A and B are shown apart, each in its own frame.
Chain A
Amino acid sequence: QQQVKQSPQSLIVQKGGISIINCAYENTAFDYFPWYQQFPGKGPALLIAIRPDVSEKKEGRFTISFNKSAKQFSLHIMDSQPGDSATYFCAARYNFNKFYFGSGTKLNVKP
């Protein structure tokens, strides 16, 4: 079964708006939760990541919110820009080397 569930599948946001992508997991042994950004024809690139002992991490316009008890985490993109249009993947790490990815969210930021 899918280890990390991601929603929505696609998202349209106006320029300057907030984009929110959600992920949920079941395995409490996951110890690291990264978000990746992928442009067409490119490999995923690490955007921001969080450990489960922290509830929020902010880097520039990108924020991860982490709810350990609910086993959910989300990515917030503030002041979304057309250049943010890409596919975003959440992931969770198990046993230091095995990463499980969500199914992806295709973000389209309208100018």
Chain B
Amino acid sequence: GAGVSQSPRYKVAKRGQDVALRCDPISGHVSLFWYQQALGQGPEFLTYFQNEAQLDKSGLPSDRFFAERPEGSVSTLKIQRTQQEDSAVYLCASSLQGVQETQYFGPGTRLLVL
């Protein structure tokens, strides 16, 4: 079956521009996670959804970052007024149940802010 998909795969934004990154989790997966992966580093937790509820957003670096999952499936990560330090790969992962361990990652969206 289809895995986690993310779009766009690459995004170039000018500093100050708003961007929206989309994640399509595996069908039926309850949990959805967003991570930020800087070049040469491990993924860093941003936020977590269980269905449509955002249960943890402690990793969002600033109030310019906003995530939503209104119908409990597709999720969007929005970054307002992008800064150069926002340049990274943004990974989305989903898992079947709230505490089920295996996270399935998408290929990521590589964001470059000029």
Q: Which residues of A contact B (CB under 8 A)?
A: 4, 6, 32, 34, 41-46, 49, 89, 91, 93, 96-104
Contacts and interface: CB of A to CB of B under 8 A. Distances in A.
Contacts of B7: none
Given A43-B4, A43-B108, A97-B48, A104 B42 contact: yes
A104 B45 contact: no
Given A43-B106, A43-B107, A97-B56, A32 B42 contact: no
A104 B44 contact: no
A100 B45 contact: yes
Given A96-B99, A103-B42, 7 more contacts: A6-B42, A97-B56, A98-B56, A98-B58, A99-B33, A103-B40, A104-B40
B42 A34 contact: no
Interface in B35-55: 35, 40-45, 48, 50, 55
Interface residues of B, number: 28
Nearest to A51: B101
Contacts, number: 56
A45 B107 contact: no
B36 to A, nearest CB: 11
A47 to B, nearest CB: 11
A89 B42 contact: yes
A97 B55 contact: yes
B16 interface: no
B43 to A, nearest CB: 5
A39 to B, nearest CB: 10
B83 interface: no
20 contacts: A6-B42, A34-B101, A43-B4, A43-B91, A43-B107, A44-B43, A49-B101, A93-B101, A97-B31, A97-B50, A97-B56, A97-B99, A98-B45, A98-B48, A98-B56, A98-B58, A99-B45, A100-B45, A103-B41, A103-B42
